Structure 1
């Protein structure tokens, strides 16, 4: 029987009251900001975590103000970097490893992740979950409902004036970046002259954005001057937000499975998930891991924002006639 990827705040609290050796609790609080200039970042800051961790940010301020006791801040702006085509590009394993060690993560730790904000407070924790999987770490759990659920339960929080220096961890990053599909893989032609996107029927090609964006009924976040439509042809819309219940927690597994089945998901097929920047798709990947842990699953980390730059004409599904709503 597969072990759940989720833990309740009450169960986490019980763990924290006991022996926490081998447990590393990471607060993945994040606020999406303007993408830094990728060339300047590469020259000044790439992999320089001792400098980056000293920079003040809204997410660090929020973390310091209130977080679950013993948690350490895991900042996506440090764990990933701005690439030429991707808002959140993936470091080489030996580089990411330095950041994980800097915040005291050990190679055999049971990593417990939580965040706050969108999608039941689980969006950024889910991105962090998939990132750690990209580096081969297996012992990963998310707090169902995130920090908001923790505070709803009336559990203790902690405040810091500054983030302390931690004893260096022993985290070992392995290269599992094949869990992310690249633009080059998606567009490479086979012997019949077709690329992967043209063979989408062979895959579960899942767009995890909200329905209104997929259907072109609201701002898609894409540049309408270069992108003709709102989604990839042959992709299925499986919105990640619809797996979060009205109580702010991930729906029970039976409901998750039913929603996937209703969306036409085939667990026997290989799956590729996407959104705009790989964030919502990571939450969908968490759902898929929870329900079908053995189903082959990959994330298009660059997602539609990368295609917007490199091949915008491919985003041609959902085109609406001029003058019609």
Structure 2
């Protein structure tokens, strides 16, 4: 199964057996908006996953603003959404694929292979005049023991080792945040030293459609870059783009918000 599916594909397969559609809409800074928008109208049959309640664990001193769910939490989520080993999971949002890509990545982290993001998200579905519904489905809970693939992530110490070795480290945030000119969320402006900037939205067009792999991140397929953002969410958009381009990249889950939680870690501006 491809990592991206079109509105046309989803509309033609909407009622297939084993299809699970997940609405991941979420607005940072206003945690209730995503779910309210879901209730007002979603793709038929879609269940809802909340970035902070479902796709993250509680933040602590370290680990960043959106720490990864632990194995028990992630397994519970997968089972509550009605996902089993044979499910084809399609995630969507209206935030340029950021939240949907987080679920896509988490499912891969849990070992689930058949998962994709809806190209263009909810806006593309609406743009085709396709119907929405307000009914909230109640999926049958599954039993799906998962195993986390820890090779997909790196720690803060791994990032330091990569700095010393000259490995590629990619900051997925907007250029002005990378440069330290603007910092609306985290306590310290700037970026991890040695990191280069590739803004996650560069993977998509203004209408939230994904660009062809050749138009995306220019990294050699032999590299294994480390990718981060502010808290490990929008970095997943770059990770999906890398995978589509045949590049195996790793996520620094805590990202910049974890990096600056250690007083001894330096940051760089400009």
TM-score (norm 1): 0.76
Contact 1:204–1:266 (CA under 8 A) maintained in structure 2: no
C-alpha distance in structure 2 between counterparts of 1:214 and 1:312, whole Å: 19
The alpha-carbon deviation at position 267 of structure 1 amounts to 2.1
Match of 2:201 in 1: 241
Q: Secondary structure at the match of 1:273?
A: strand
C-alpha distance in structure 2 between counterparts of 1:172 and 1:30, whole Å: 27
Match of 1:212 in 2: 176
**Per-residue displacement from partner, 1:119-150 (whole Å, max 9, x unpaired)?**
3xx11001111111111111111100100110
The alpha-carbon deviation at position 167 of structure 1 amounts to 1.4
**Per-residue displacement from partner, 1:22-75 (whole Å, max 9, x unpaired)?**
1111111112248xxxxxxxxxxxxxxxxxxxxx94322211111000111122
C-alpha distance in structure 2 between counterparts of 1:93 and 1:290, whole Å: 26
Contact 1:27–1:72 (CA under 8 A) maintained in structure 2: yes
C-alpha distance in structure 1 between counterparts of 2:100 and 2:116, whole Å: 10
2:134 counterpart (149, 159, 164) = 159
Contact 1:22–1:108 (CA under 8 A) maintained in structure 2: yes
Match of 1:79 in 2: 55
Q: Secondary structure at the match of 2:237?
A: helix
C-alpha distance in structure 1 between counterparts of 2:185 and 2:164, whole Å: 24
The alpha-carbon deviation at position 220 of structure 1 amounts to 5.6
Residues 1:142 and 2:108 are matched in the alignment: no
Match of 1:12 in 2: 10
**CA, structure 1 residues 33+212, in 2 after alignment: closer, same or farther (shift >3 Å)?**
closer
Q: How does 1:111-122 map to 2 (within 5 A)?
A: 111-117=89-95, 119=96, 122=97
CA RMSD of aligned residues (A): 2.0
Contact 1:270–1:296 (CA under 8 A) maintained in structure 2: yes
**Per-residue displacement from partner, 1:235-261 (whole Å, max 9, x unpaired)?**
1111111121133211122322xxx23
Residues 1:97 and 2:75 are matched in the alignment: yes
C-alpha distance in structure 1 between counterparts of 2:154 and 2:110, whole Å: 14
Match of 1:32 in 2: 28
Match of 1:61 in 2: 36
- Mark the runs of 5 or more structure 1 residues left unpaired by the alignment: 35-55, 188-194, 319-325
The alpha-carbon deviation at position 185 of structure 1 amounts to 3.1
How many residue pairs align between the two structures? Answer: 267
The alpha-carbon deviation at position 4 of structure 1 amounts to 3.3
Q: Secondary structure at the match of 1:116?
A: coil
C-alpha distance in structure 1 between counterparts of 2:205 and 2:34, whole Å: 25
**CA, structure 1 residues 312+65, in 2 after alignment: closer, same or farther (shift >3 Å)?**
farther
Contact 2:45–2:137 (CA under 8 A) maintained in structure 1: no
Larger Rg: 1
**Per-residue displacement from partner, 1:93-124 (whole Å, max 9, x unpaired)?**
2331112112211122111111113x3xx110
**CA, structure 1 residues 79+211, in 2 after alignment: closer, same or farther (shift >3 Å)?**
closer
**CA, structure 1 residues 32+4, in 2 after alignment: closer, same or farther (shift >3 Å)?**
same
Residues 1:309 and 2:269 are matched in the alignment: no
Q: Secondary structure at the match of 1:90?
A: coil
Residues 1:286 and 2:259 are matched in the alignment: no
**Per-residue displacement from partner, 1:269-294 (whole Å, max 9, x unpaired)?**
221001111112111001001111xx
Contact 2:180–2:269 (CA under 8 A) maintained in structure 1: no
Contact 2:200–2:235 (CA under 8 A) maintained in structure 1: yes
Q: How does 1:117-136 map to 2 (within 5 A)?
A: 117=95, 119=96, 122-136=97-111
